[in-house]
């Protein structure tokens, strides 16, 4: 069992108030808070060894390079990637997926090929594939959902067929919390020779993720959602696949030899890291990985499961809301998306903010999914390892008051 009060002490921001109320931060799917260790790693870099990496012979540059490359090794270990060269630094999960779409997709996907996604995808794992499909004459196929927001595996083995070139799926839905059975789907994709990309933006921060076990070719990682700084993400790619891929961006660092006529490419991973990278961000993400590994990802998942069960119980009592996604906590992450026809989610979010409760409202970058659910938007509370039952109580109490307030108003207006 984790000592959540001790964990909370590591996050300076959690002790602040909002509108005079203690902050209950339940917007972790959008971005997470940063422990002191991450903040210190950033300031230590800028205060004591700020320097560019890889190019310098002076001490500061060598120190920066060592710490930057150590961070890469930490991320590789965290997801059981084997070689650190399989980790490419990017700006965020979105850029990781775009890198694959441009460098791998445009060379490996041809006319008539099929790309299989789920109906849950975040725009980041939908729009890049729409672009590849449009450019190459390929077809997008979607794995459907059951009534309660699980993946419908019944039809999956016909959607994934010999025409499938790529399976690109989210691991955990940011909009419904659904945990996608990636390993099972990857097995189907492998049996027809398709490549597998996993969008790990909402899984890597919250549960153990092992790329060997998932048997994926690519995993997109978002730094800022896993206690790291903004502006840093990572792409895991199988080394032999990366070796075959064309660079994504061209310029300094990614080249070996350059003449006026042409250039040759550097070794992995630098071949995919043109220009000065986000050095502080990578080192900060390394510190975040140390922090999470110290807690133990099994423990993080267990805490969130318990808290999700507690939140589901609390929200179940509110008749005015429809709660989306699976009800059993083994099939969902700590994301609770709901809708009430009495009140627009934005009004709900604004009301809750006055109570110190931070949630997200909107389409969560999953517009087609909102359409499929038949709602314009949802209100979404998303949990992390530092959240408590007391914060969930604050959410449920504030929601009750909001629903009463808007419900009465709505009936009076009718």
Sites of contact with ligand PLP (CB under 6 A) = 29, 92-94, 122, 124-125, 170, 174, 199, 201-202, 222, 233, 365
Query: Is the sign of the CA dihedral 162, 86, 126, 308 positive or negative?
Result: positive
Q: Which tokens belong to 198?
A: 């996993």
Q: For residue 199, which of 376, 187, 178 has the smallest C-alpha distance?
A: 178
Query: Residue 79 or residue 402: which is nearer to ligand PLP going by CB?
Result: 79
Query: Residue 173 or residue 394: which is nearer to ligand PLP going by CB?
Result: 173
**H or E stretch including 40?**
helix 36-44
Strands 357-358 and 24-25: parallel
Tell me the closest approach of the beta carbon of residue 179 to ligand PLP, in angstroms. Answer: 12
262 contact partners, CB below 8 Å, separation of at least 6:
none
Q: Which tokens belong to 168?
A: 């690109």
Query: Residue 8 or residue 123: which is nearer to ligand PLP going by CB?
Result: 123
Query: Residue 198 or residue 307: which is nearer to ligand PLP going by CB?
Result: 198
> What's the distance, CA 23 to chain centroid?
23
Q: DSSP per residue over 278-305, as a string?
A: -HHHHHHHHHHHHHHHHH-HHHHHHHHH
Look at residue 334 and give its three-state secondary structure. Answer: coil
Q: Which tokens belong to 215?
A: 């048997």
Sheet holding 218-222, edge to edge: 87-90, 233-237, 218-222, 195-199, 164-170, 114-118, 139-143
Please tell me the distance from the alpha carbon of residue 14 to that of residue 256, in angstroms, as a whole number: 46
Q: Which tokens belong to 334?
A: 């700590």
Tell me the closest approach of the beta carbon of residue 401 to ligand PLP, in angstroms. Answer: 29
Is there a contact between 407 and 25 (Cβ–Cβ < 8 Å)?
Answer: no
Tell me the closest approach of the beta carbon of residue 267 to ligand PLP, in angstroms. Answer: 26
Q: How many helices (H) and strands (E) does the chain have?
A: 15, 17
Tell me the closest approach of the beta carbon of residue 329 to ligand PLP, in angstroms. Answer: 19
Q: Which tokens belong to 127?
A: 């729009």
Tell me the closest approach of the beta carbon of residue 177 to ligand PLP, in angstroms. Answer: 11
216 a catalytic residue? no
Phi-psi region of 166 (alpha: psi -120 to 50; beta: other; left: phi over 0): beta
Query: Residue 142 or residue 405: which is nearer to ligand PLP going by CB?
Result: 142
Query: Residue 125 or residue 388: which is nearer to ligand PLP going by CB?
Result: 125
Query: Residue 126 or residue 402: which is nearer to ligand PLP going by CB?
Result: 126
CA dist list (Å): 252 to 63, 109, 256, 257: 20, 28, 9, 10
Tell me the closest approach of the beta carbon of residue 58 to ligand PLP, in angstroms. Answer: 33
Tell me the closest approach of the beta carbon of residue 34 to ligand PLP, in angstroms. Answer: 15
Catalytic residue among 365, 367, 372, 410: 365
Please tell me the distance from the alpha carbon of residue 102 to that of residue 219, in angstroms, as a whole number: 15
Residues annotated as part of the active site:
365
């Amino acid at each position: 069992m984790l000592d959540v009060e001790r964990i909370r002490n590591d996050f300076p921001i959690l002790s602040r108030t909002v509108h005079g109320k203690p902050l209950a931060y339940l917007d972790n799917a959008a971005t997470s808070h940063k422990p002191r260790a991450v903040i210190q790693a950033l300031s230590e870099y800028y205060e004591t060894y700020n320097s560019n990496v890889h190019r310098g012979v002076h001490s500061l540059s060598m120190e920066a390079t060592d710490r930057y490359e150590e961070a890469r090794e930490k991320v590789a270990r965290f997801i059981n990637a084997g070689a650190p060269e399989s980790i490419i630094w990017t700006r965020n999960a979105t850029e990781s997926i775009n890198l694959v779409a441009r460098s791998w997709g445009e060379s490996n996907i041809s006319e008539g090929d099929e790309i299989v996604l789920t109906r849950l995808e975040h725009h980041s794992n939908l729009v890049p594939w729409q672009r590849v499909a449009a450019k190459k004459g390929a077809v997008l196929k979607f794995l459907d959902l059951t009534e309660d927001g699980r993946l419908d595996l019944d039809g999956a083995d016909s959607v994934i067929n010999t025409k499938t070139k790529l399976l690109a799926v989210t691991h955990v839905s940011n909009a419904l919390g659904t945990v996608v059975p990636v390993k099972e789907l990857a097995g189907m994709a492998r049996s027809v020779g398709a490549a597998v990309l996993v969008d790990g933006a909402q899984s890597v921060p919250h549960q153990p993720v092992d790329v060997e076990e998932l048997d994926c070719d690519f995993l997109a990682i978002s730094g800022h959602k896993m206690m790291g700084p903004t502006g840093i993400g990572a792409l895991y790619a199988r080394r032999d696949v990366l070796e075959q891929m064309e660079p994504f961006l061209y310029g300094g660092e990614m080249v070996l030899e350059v003449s006026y006529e042409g250039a040759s490419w550097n070794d992995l991973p630098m071949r995919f890291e043109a220009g000065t990278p986000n050095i502080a961000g990578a080192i900060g993400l390394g510190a975040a990985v140390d922090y999470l590994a110290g807690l133990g990802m099994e423990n993080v998942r267990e805490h969130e499961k318990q808290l999700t069960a507690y939140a589901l119980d609390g929200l179940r009592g509110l008749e005015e809301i429809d709660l989306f996604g699976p009800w059993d906590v083994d099939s969902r992450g700590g994301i609770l998306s709901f809708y009430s026809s009495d009140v627009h989610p934005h009004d709900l979010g604004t009301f809750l903010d006055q109570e110190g409760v931070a949630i997200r409202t909107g389409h969560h970058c999953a517009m087609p999914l909102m359409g499929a659910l038949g709602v314009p938007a949802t209100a979404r509370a998303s949990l992390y390892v530092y959240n408590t039952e007391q914060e969930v109580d604050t959410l449920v109490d504030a929601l009750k008051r909001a629903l009463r307030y808007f419900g009465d108003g709505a009936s009076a207006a009718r």
